[in-house]
């Protein structure tokens, strides 16, 4: 009887060790990969990047030829100068008429005073009033002529702003901090709007996506610390990780799980954030161990 109890204890311990040697989740590392595309058409003047290089955000790394845009802008500026010269001519004529109107109004007041004292005729009053009305109509007409000129100048301003935006987009500016994963273009190549130039990802912190069963959900929560292990020569290397996301809905077990029993089960996706010391790569397999 004693031998039977000892045997059962050994089997129990062996079973416990076997369970302890099994990870709580399996998956692969991933990162948010961003493909940077051209926002202009033309020849690439320069593109200062290589695969594996770490780029800082807002760094200027390339330029697409802007010669035609520059020439178009100069042409619009010349047209704007011509338009403003027309507007200045209209303004000059308006100023002359304004001065004439000012003198005529003084004369009108003097004639009206003379007419009140019977020193002027009604005809003289009517004549000076007619001059005032004519000058006012002329000034109004010039204002009408100046309006389309000013509108044309505003239209050119909008076109210049559009070209300025195109010139700015011809500059290849890196948007985020990260490591260049792939380079799709070279200097002196012709590119087009939307054509990929390079792919970048911030791999300083990697995400391990694993899948757990429904029975394991009660043992994990967002913000929980876990161990992440990767294969190594001697023994598995361990990294501290933090659960950053747990799926709200179940899905079928992904194809990377091979056994028939596990394939028929529903699992939940879990993301674990892990600081990268340079050894972790996108697509690398890893295990999650709940502490």
Domain boundaries, the chain: 25-30+204-290, 33-65+172-201, 67-170
Alpha carbon dihedral 269, 273, 278, 280, in 10-degree steps, equals -10
CA–CA gap between residue 159 and residue 156 (Å, rounded): 5
pLDDT, position 20: 52
Predicted pLDDT at 259? 53
DSSP 8-state symbol, 279:
-
Q: Are 139 and 97 in contact (CB under 8 A)?
A: yes
What is the pLDDT at residue 183? 97
Residue whose structure tokens are 């505003």: 154
User: What is the Cα–Cα distance from 72 to 41, expressed in whole angstroms?
Assistant: 15
Q: How far apart are CA 181 and CA 27, in angstroms?
A: 21
Q: Which two tokens stand for residue 6?
A: 């000892």
Residues with Cβ within 8 Å of 229's Cβ and at least 6 positions away in sequence, in order, are 23, 236, 237, 238, 239, 286, 287, 289
pLDDT at 1: 37
What pLDDT does 8 receive? 32
| Alpha-carbon 59 to chain mean position | 14
pTM over 0.85: no
Distance CA 44, CA 192 (A): 10
Kindly report the number of other CB atoms within 10 A of residue 61's CB atom: 19
Structure tokens at 93: 């004529």
**Fold category of 25-30+204-290 in CATH:** Elongation Factor Tu (Ef-tu); domain 3 (2.40.30)
CB-CB neighbours of 272 under 10 Å: 27
122-170 and 67-116 helices, crossing angle to 10°: 160
For domain 33-65+172-201, give its CATH number from 2.40.50.100, 3.30.43.10, 3.40.190.10, 3.40.50.720. Answer: 2.40.50.100
How many angstroms separate the CA atoms of 10 and 16, rounded?
10
State residue 99's pLDDT score: 84
Note the pLDDT of residue 47: 97
Q: Which segments in the chain show pLDDT lower than 70?
A: 1-21, 253-265
| Residue 62, both tokens | 């390339």
């Amino acid at each position: 009887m004693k031998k039977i109890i000892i045997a059962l204890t050994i089997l129990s311990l062996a079973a416990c060790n076997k369970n302890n040697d099994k990870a709580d989740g399996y998956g692969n590392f991933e990162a948010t990969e961003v493909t940077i595309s051209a926002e202009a058409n033309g020849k690439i003047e320069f593109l200062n990047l290589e695969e594996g290089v770490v780029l800082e955000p807002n760094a200027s790394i390339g330029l697409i030829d802007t010669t035609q845009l520059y020439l178009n802008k100069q042409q619009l500026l010349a047209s704007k100068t011509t338009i403003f010269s027309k507007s200045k001519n209209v303004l000059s004529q308006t100023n002359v008429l304004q001065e004439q109107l000012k003198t005529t109004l003084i004369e009108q007041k003097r004639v009206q005073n003379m007419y009140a004292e019977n020193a002027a005729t009604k005809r003289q009053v009517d004549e000076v009033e007619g001059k005032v009305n004519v000058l006012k109509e002329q000034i109004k007409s010039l204002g009408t002529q100046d309006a389309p000129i000013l509108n044309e100048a505003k239209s050119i301003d909008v076109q210049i702003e559009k070209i300025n935006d195109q010139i700015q987009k011809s500059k290849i500016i890196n948007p985020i901090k990260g490591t260049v994963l792939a380079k799709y273009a070279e200097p002196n190549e012709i590119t087009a709007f939307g054509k990929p130039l390079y792919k970048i990802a911030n791999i300083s912190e990697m995400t391990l996506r694993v899948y757990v069963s429904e029975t394991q959900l009660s043992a994990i929560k967002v913000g929980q610390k876990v161990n992440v292990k990767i294969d190594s020569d001697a023994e598995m290397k361990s990294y501290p990780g933090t659960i950053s996301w747990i799926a709200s809905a179940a899905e079928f077990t992904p194809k990377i799980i091979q056994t028939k029993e596990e394939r028929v089960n529903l699992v939940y996706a879990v993301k674990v954030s892990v600081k990268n010391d340079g050894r972790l790569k996108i697509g690398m397999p890893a295990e999650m161990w709940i502490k």
